[in-house]
Copies of this chain bind each other. A is one copy, B any other.
């Protein structure tokens, strides 16, 4: 089965957004063994959509279209698809009820324009979009499949995961597909490659697959296997994962955890411990990551974001002498911060950061990217200095992830 992806909308063509949707869709399709032949980004224009769809259907069996489905005037995908399939729009009560329900739950009267969203081509099967107002549409005609979905990433991902991938998977073959994801942190893609190149070769030779999924400050590895026997596959994959863990224990954060904060949260809950943070260069981002998890009030007490030296001194109790003698970005100060917040908030653990996120504020001794991170647990405090890069956003993310990883390692020593 060959698939093509068409993204509709001018934002990509004028370079205002990067097309991350297609990469995500392609990786999901690749995982279930479906080949993507081409990805095309085109403008929100009827003739262009018709041409691109026609050409794609010449090459592929399935065309997945994203975008061009919002309630406003620059969205013409639905009418164009109706024309392509020589079809008429009809009113779908279930779509109308769903859209109205979304507005009702927000206590907002439904704008007239959203009523239009309940009009679908009569030949389209409706795919319920629980995450938004624009419905998904599934057309089958002359052995080919055309699917239209909204371009908003989390709506598209919902429809792909819940509706489209299962249907396409059914149409492929009955093979079992098993995967496991490993989260690694503290090393880049090429560094990791040097450590585990031999492991990867053996893994590939044994008939399993490996996908590298790097993102800011971390690399996920996804091991996948196809076959008839699920139990056998799972055992085979777990053996490889255990082997990997023994090769890179220092970088191995966990199995099937999406983010480091989830690994930390699970440990804190297991121990019945609480945590607080004292943040300078991360500006509240560690707290944000910890509280992005539902139920975080079970272990997270709170934070002090001490952006100025005055707040470090008055709120966290960092000594004026330390600030004067060592500067805010120092072992001395970050340890006083981590202990100050732990005491003040009366928590079992704490994380503190102090660094130069950039792009300004660097000196010769402490260039942009210099970050001191401390963590404290019931058995004491440790701290470490890092040299990240020059990019402000990346420095904030990497500092937060590194602090969380340090805390995870320290808590694990207690088990």
Instruction: Please list the residues of chain A having a beta carbon within 8 angstroms of any beta carbon in chain B.
Output: 10-20, 22-30, 35-43, 48, 52, 55, 70-74, 105-108, 111-114, 133, 152, 188-191, 193-194, 197, 200, 210-214, 277, 279, 282-288, 290-292, 294-297, 300-308, 310-311, 314-315, 344-346, 357-361, 387-390, 392-393, 396
Contact = CB atoms under 8 A, between A and B. Distances in A.
A38 B28 contact: no
A22 B19 contact: yes
Contact of A284 (B133, B288, B360, B387): B288
Contact of A307 (B23, B72, B291, B390): B291
Contacts of A20: 18
22 contacts: A14-B36, A15-B22, A18-B19, A18-B20, A19-B23, A37-B43, A37-B48, A39-B40, A73-B193, A106-B387, A111-B194, A114-B190, A284-B286, A285-B288, A291-B305, A291-B357, A292-B396, A296-B307, A301-B311, A303-B304, A305-B305, A315-B344
Given A302-B315, A315-B344, A283 B291 contact: yes
B311 A345 contact: yes
A189 B74 contact: no
Q: Report the copy number of this chain in the oligomer.
A: 2
Given A74-B211, A283-B296, A307-B291, A111 B18 contact: no
A294 B92 CA distance: 49
A304 B302 contact: yes
Contacts of A39: 12-13, 19, 40-41
Nearest to A394: B154
Nearest to A391: B131
B200 A73 contact: yes
Contact of A74 (B18, B190, B210): B210
B304 A308 contact: no
A284 B305 contact: yes
Contact of A194 (B112, B214, B311, B360): B112
A383 B388 CA distance: 40
B16 A37 contact: no
A26 B12 CA distance: 8
Nearest to A303: B305
Given A12-B26, A13-B36, A113-B190, 14 more contacts: A12-B23, A13-B39, A14-B26, A15-B22, A16-B213, A18-B19, A19-B19, A38-B43, A39-B41, A72-B189, A114-B190, A284-B287, A284-B288, A297-B307
